[in-house]
């Protein structure tokens, strides 16, 4: 199954309908057939102010997602959920919201290299070590007169000596901060739905 975020809205691409999650205002497209019929469904959902979820089913979910991707300009990004020895998590504050450090994968680098580079650049730290690959997140946003689908590849990281934090101001980051788990309510009150879900899945709050 794939889950794609558009702000607080969600698109589910799956083999079977998730009946327990469907409400009257949600939209559904059962037994997907071809991408020509998919585009108007997506466009309608994006513009529908009431619908919060769209469920699309197909016996071949990978083919469905492949066709879904072609409707957008696709970008690969990578970032990190960084923890220190006190089990605090590293957050950035950008565009008025708390977020995890991440950025676009550049030509010629692996997603692991991109994730380490982006965290180092955005937070002004080094000495990072990747511990494990985490679930990717997908979200759609509108920029430069086109809808963009971004996949962010996440990695759990450890930082040995990362006390001196420097926000990358050129990337509109105003704060870089370590937070304890009992401080995360501040993040959940002002972050993106995809970040909330990633944190809840990985940290098991």
Looking at residue 19, its pLDDT comes to 63
Contact of 96 with 176, CB cutoff 8 Å:
no
Pairing between β-strand 2-6 and β-strand 9-14 as defined by DSSP bridges: antiparallel
Q: What is d(CA 5, CA 67) in angstroms, rounded to the nearest whole number?
A: 17
Question: From first to last of its 205 residues, what are the pLDDT tens digits of the chain?
Answer: 999 999 889 999 998 876 656 777 889 888 888 888 899 999 999 999 899 999 999 999 999 999 999 999 999 999 999 999 888 999 999 999 999 999 999 999 999 999 999 999 999 998 899 999 999 999 999 888 899 999 999 999 999 777 789 999 999 999 999 999 999 999 999 999 999 999 998 886 4
Pairing between β-strand 89-94 and β-strand 97-99 as defined by DSSP bridges: antiparallel
pTM, whole model, 2 decimals?
Answer: 0.92
Q: What is d(CA 12, CA 117) in angstroms, rounded to the nearest whole number?
A: 31
Looking at residue 151, its pLDDT comes to 97
Q: What is d(CA 25, CA 125) in angstroms, rounded to the nearest whole number?
A: 45
- Of the candidates 16, 190, 178, 34, the residue with the CA atom closest to the CA atom of residue 101: 178
Looking at residue 203, its pLDDT comes to 82
Looking at residue 204, its pLDDT comes to 67
Pairing between β-strand 137-143 and β-strand 2-6 as defined by DSSP bridges: parallel
Looking at residue 32, its pLDDT comes to 86
> Phi, psi (5° rounding) for residue 122?
-75, -25
Q: Indicate the SS3 state at residue 138.
A: strand
Looking up tokens 């692996």 gives: 110
61-89 residue pLDDT tens:
999 999 999 999 999 999 999 999 888 99
Pairing between β-strand 102-104 and β-strand 2-6 as defined by DSSP bridges: unpaired
Looking at residue 35, its pLDDT comes to 83
Residue ranges of domains in the chain, CATH in brackets: 2-69 (no CATH), 74-203 (3.90.79.10)
């Amino acid at each position: 199954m794939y889950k794609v975020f558009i702000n607080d809205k969600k698109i589910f691409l799956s083999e079977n309908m998730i009946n327990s999650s469907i409400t009257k205002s949600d939209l559904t497209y059962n037994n997907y057939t071809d991408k020509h019929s998919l585009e108007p469904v997506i466009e309608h959902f994006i513009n529908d102010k009431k619908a919060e979820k769209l469920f699309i089913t197909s016996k071949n979910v990978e083919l469905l997602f492949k066709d879904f991707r072609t409707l957008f300009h696709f970008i690969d990004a990578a970032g990190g959920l960084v923890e220190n020895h006190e089990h605090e998590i590293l957050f950035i504050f950008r565009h008025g919201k708390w977020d995890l450090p991440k950025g676009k994968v550049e030509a010629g680098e692996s997603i692991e290299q991109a994730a380490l580079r982006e965290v180092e650049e955005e937070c002004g730290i080094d000495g990072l070590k990747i511990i494990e690959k985490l679930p990717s997140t997908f979200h759609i946003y509108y920029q430069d007169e086109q809808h963009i689908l971004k996949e962010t590849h996440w990695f759990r990281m450890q930082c040995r000596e990362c006390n001196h934090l420097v926000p990358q101001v050129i990337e509109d980051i105003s704060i870089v901060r370590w937070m304890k788990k009992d401080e995360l309510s501040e993040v959940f009150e002002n972050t993106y739905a995809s970040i909330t879900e990633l944190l809840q899945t990985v940290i098991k709050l």
